[in-house]
Amino acid sequence: MFQINCLNPIAQVGLKNFTDQYEITSEVKNADGILVRSASMHEMELPESLLAVARAGAGVNNIPLDKCAEHGVVVFNTPGANANGVKELVIAGMLLAARDVVSGIEWVKASREDPDIAKAAEKAKKNFAGTEIKGKKLGVIGLGAIGVKVANAAVALDMEVYGYDPYLSVNAAWSLSRAVHHVTNVEDIYAQCDYITIHVPLMDSTKGMINAEAVGKMKDGVILLNFARDLLADEEDVLEGLHSGKIARYVSDFPNATTAGQKGCIVIPHLGASTEESEDNCAVMAVEEMMDYLENGNIRNSVNYPACDMGICTKAGRVAIFHKNIANMITKFTAEFGEKGINISDMTNKSRGEVAYTMMDVEEAPTEEIIRALENIKGVFRARIVKG
Ligand SMILES: NC(=O)C1=CN([C@@H]2O[C@H](COP(=O)(O)OP(=O)(O)OC[C@H]3O[C@@H](n4cnc5c(N)ncnc54)[C@H](O)[C@@H]3O)[C@@H](O)[C@H]2O)C=CC1
Ligand SMILES: O=C(O)CCC(=O)C(=O)O
C-alpha cells in the first residue's frame, strides 16, 4: 500500500484515480508520495519513506529540487496543464489595465445609495476611460506553455506581438502563431512594447530580471504584467517606475507587502490557475505521473531526474537506482547481480546534468541485501525495489 500525503487541496477528479493500492494520509511522516500545489517545502524535513513529489502545477520554486535529487526523490510537475487558465487571466489583466475597470467598479459600489446613480455614472465615466488593446504592441518574455498561448490569443485580439525566449522548444515554435515577431534580444521588447508580460520560471538566473535597469529601457507608460512569480521583478524598482510615470500599471498575480494596495498596482490573489479545468488537469496529470513512478519506476515530466520509461515489468523483479552521473556505475551495478548469479533481462540508464537513473529488470526477485549492496556503491543516492 502506498501512502500519499496532500500538502494542498488536490482536485478529486485526480485523487479518485488512485487505486486501492493507495491511501491518502494526513501525515507526511510515512508518506511514499507528496502531492503539492504552492505550499513551500523548503523548510520541511523529508521523511525517509518519501519516493516522489508531484507538483500539481508548473512552478517548482517551492520545492528543494537538489535536496530531493540527492535523496533519490523524484519531483514531477504538470507542464501545460494549467496554461489556459493563466492565459485567460493574463488577457483579463491586460483589459483591466487598459481601462480603469477596477476603479470604475469601486465607484459604483461607493455610489450604490445614490438614487441617481445612472445619471451620475454618465458624468463619472470619463475618469475611468482608457484605450483599446487592438493595435498595441505586446512583448511576451518566455514562450513556454503559457507564453505561447498568451501570444496567440493576443494575435487573435489584433495586437502586434513580439516574443522572446532564448531556449524556445521545438514544440513551442510549432505552436506559436506565425504572426508573432521573433525577438532575439529582450531589450527590443523593452524598447518597443506597450504591454510586457513575463512567463519564465523563477530561477537564480531569472530572479529580479525586471529591475531598474530593465524598467529604464521600457517605453514611457508601459503596462507590465507578472503572472509568473513576484520575485522575477524587483518590485521596489517597479514602484519607482510607477511613481515616475514610466510604468502606467503593474498587474501581478502575487500579493505581497510591497505591492498590495499601491497606486497603479492591480494585484490578484494568485488566481492564474484557479479554475476548475486547470485544477482538474493538474490533479489528473500529477496523479498519473505519481502512479506510473511508484508502480513501475517510470519517470515522466520530472524536473530533477531524467525521463525514463520501461513500461510495465513482466520479469520477476525491477530495481531502480539513483546515482551520480559518473563513469563506471553500470559496471558496478551489473557486477552486484552477476556475483549473485542473477540475470539482468533489460536495463536503461538515463542522465540529467549531475544525476542519473538506472532501471534493471531481473529474473529473480531482488532482495533487501542486494539493495543495500547497491546503496553502498560510492555515488549511489538510493536504490529501490520497484517489483520483487
Ligand atoms: N499565476 C499562476 O497561477 C501560474 C504561474 N505560473 C508561472 O509561470 C511560469 C511559466 O509557466 P509555463 O509557461 O507553464 O512554463 P514553461 O516551462 O512551459 O515555460 C517557461 C519558458 O520560459 C523560458 N525561459 C526560461 N528562462 C528564460 C529567460 N531568461 N528569458 C526568456 N525565456 C526564458 C523557457 O525556455 C520556457 O520556454 C511557471 O514557472 C510559474 O512560475 C505557472 C502556472 C500558473
Ligand atoms: O496551484 C496553484 O494554484 C498555483 C499555480 C502556479 O503558480 C503554478 O502552476 O506554477
Which residue pairs from 367-371 have beta carbons closer than 8 angstroms and sit at least 24 positions apart in sequence?
A: 370/319, 370/336, 370/337, 370/340, 370/342, 371/319
Distance in angstroms (rounded) separating the CA atoms of residues 349 and 36: 28
Residue 7's alpha-carbon distances to 2, 24, 26, 182, 229, in angstroms, are: 16, 11, 9, 40, 20
Which residue ranges have their beta carbon within 6 Å of ligand 1?
57-59, 79, 82-83, 86, 141-147, 164-167, 172, 199-202, 206, 227-229, 253, 270, 272-273
Spacing, Cα 238 to ligand 1 middle (Å): 20
Q: If you take atom 37 of ligand 1, which residue's CA is the nearest one?
A: 144
Ligand nearest to the CA of 201: 1
For residue 236, the model assigns a pLDDT of 98
To the nearest whole number, what is the mean pLDDT of the chain?
98
Instruction: Over range 203-225, report the average pLDDT.
Output: 98
The residue among 102, 141, 145 whose CA lies nearest residue 225 is 141
Distance in angstroms (rounded) separating the CA atoms of residues 169 and 148: 11
Going by pLDDT thresholds of 50, 70 and 90, the confidence category of residue 387 is very high
On whether the pTM is more than 0.90, the answer is yes
Distance in angstroms (rounded) separating the CA atoms of residues 217 and 236: 16
Instruction: Over range 233-258, report the average pLDDT.
Output: 98
For residue 333, the model assigns a pLDDT of 98
For residue 378, the model assigns a pLDDT of 98
Biggest alpha carbon–alpha carbon distance for the chain: 91
Distance in angstroms (rounded) separating the CA atoms of residues 284 and 124: 48
User: Residue 384: CB partners within 8 Å, gap ≥ 6?
Assistant: 51, 72, 297, 319, 320, 321, 322, 371
Around 110, how many Cα atoms within 13 Å sit in the side-chain half-sphere?
9
Q: What is the DSSP string of 257-289?
A: TTTTT-TTEEE--S-TT-SHHHHHHHHHHHHHH
Q: Are 265 and 235 in contact (CB under 8 A)?
A: no
Around 24, how many Cα atoms within 13 Å sit in the side-chain half-sphere?
14
For residue 93, the model assigns a pLDDT of 98
Task: Tell me the Cα Rg of the chain.
Answer: 25
Q: Are 5 and 28 in contact (CB under 8 A)?
A: yes
- All cell numbers assigned to 293: 513512478
Cβ neighbours, 10 Å, residue 205: 8
For residue 20, the model assigns a pLDDT of 97
Residue 342's alpha-carbon distances to 129, 357, 384, in angstroms, are: 77, 20, 17
Ligand nearest to the CA of 274: 2
Instruction: For 289-339, write each residue's pLDDT tens digit.
Output: 999 999 999 999 999 999 999 999 999 999 999 999 999 999 999 999 999
Domains of the chain: 1-82+274-305 (3.40.50.720), 89-267 (3.40.50.720), 306-388 (3.30.70.260)
Distance in angstroms (rounded) separating the CA atoms of residues 210 and 196: 11
Spacing, Cα 52 to ligand 2 middle (Å): 19
Spacing, Cα 272 to ligand 2 middle (Å): 7
The CA-based angle 313-315-320, given to 5 degrees, is 55
Report ipTM for this prediction: 0.99
Task: Report the share of the chain in percent with pLDDT over 90.
Answer: 100
Instruction: For 61-96, write each residue's pLDDT tens digit.
Output: 999 999 999 999 999 999 999 999 999 999 999 999
Place of cell 536503461: 348
